[in-house]
Structure 1
Amino acid sequence: MIRQCAILFGCLALGELVVYLTGIKLPSSIIGMLFLTLFLRLGWIKLHWVQGMSDFLVANLGFFFIPPGVALMCYLDIIQAQFWPIVIATLISTIVVLVITGWVHQLMRKIK
């Protein structure tokens, strides 16, 4: 369990270091996950080394959405005032993401 935490938090720390040194505008957690993926693909980290902790985090993922949900309730008046722009932006961005994802998938299938 300690090794699993150390590996996951080590990749997160590596992501923090990259953001600190380069100043890029990406979340360090995303960069850390990319490092973890790279290390898994290269075989430097074995899947069974992090499987238990990963399964635990995914199984309890709902708990990580409680703080943002509470924060949304704190800003309910702003959300009500801007309801339609939020809905329209959400729908348009969802459609754009679906279309681009489908297009890229079809493109990759043709290349393959």
Structure 2
Amino acid sequence: MKIVTQVGIIFSICWISQIIEKLLPFSFPASVIGMILLFILLCVHILKVDHIREKSDFLLENMAFFFIPAGVSIINYFDVLKNWVVQLIVICVVSTVVTFAVTAYSMKLALYLMQKKKSGRAKE
């Protein structure tokens, strides 16, 4: 029953994000709205990590499976994309490097802030 509840929570957030997407006067992806909504719910402690832990772990462990349709689509449109191979490779390499750099500096900042918070508590 716990898994069913967790799936229900995740799908409810997805459904609400799709409703919000339809109500917005501008185009914004429902998946991003859902992530923001989930983040807010976790930050204000309306939702606890334990409420969705098992199902989210399952989804993260099987994430590669969800990219199969996108990979197949790329193969289906290879004749269209073959004229842009060099540009696509450059975009992939640059975006990967930027993503790694932003992630590394974000982690450095998070660790710095956590250390600062920990040392501030130790002084009290």
Q: TM-score, normalised by structure 2?
A: 0.73
Which stretches in structure 2 are left out of the alignment for 5+ residues? 117-124
Q: Over residues 12-68 of structure 1, what are the superposed CA-to-partner deviations in whole Å (9 max), with x where a residue is unaligned?
A: 111111111113322101101111111011110111110010011111111101111
Computing the radius of gyration from Cα coordinates, the structure with the larger value is 2
Of residues 44, 58, 81, the one that matches 1:79 is 81
Of residues 48, 59, 68, the one that matches 1:46 is 48
Q: Which residue of 1 aligns with 2:12?
A: 10
CA RMSD of aligned residues (A): 2.5
Which stretches in structure 1 are left out of the alignment for 5+ residues? none
Residue 91 of structure 1, CA deviation:
3.7
Q: Distance in 1 between matches of 2:7 and 2:25?
A: 26
* 1:61 aligns to 2:74 (yes or no): no
Residue 89 of structure 1, CA deviation:
3.2
Q: Distance in 1 between matches of 2:37 and 2:70?
A: 26
Q: Over residues 76-101 of structure 1, what are the superposed CA-to-partner deviations in whole Å (9 max), with x where a residue is unaligned?
A: 112222112222333444455566x3
Percent identity between the two aligned chains? 29
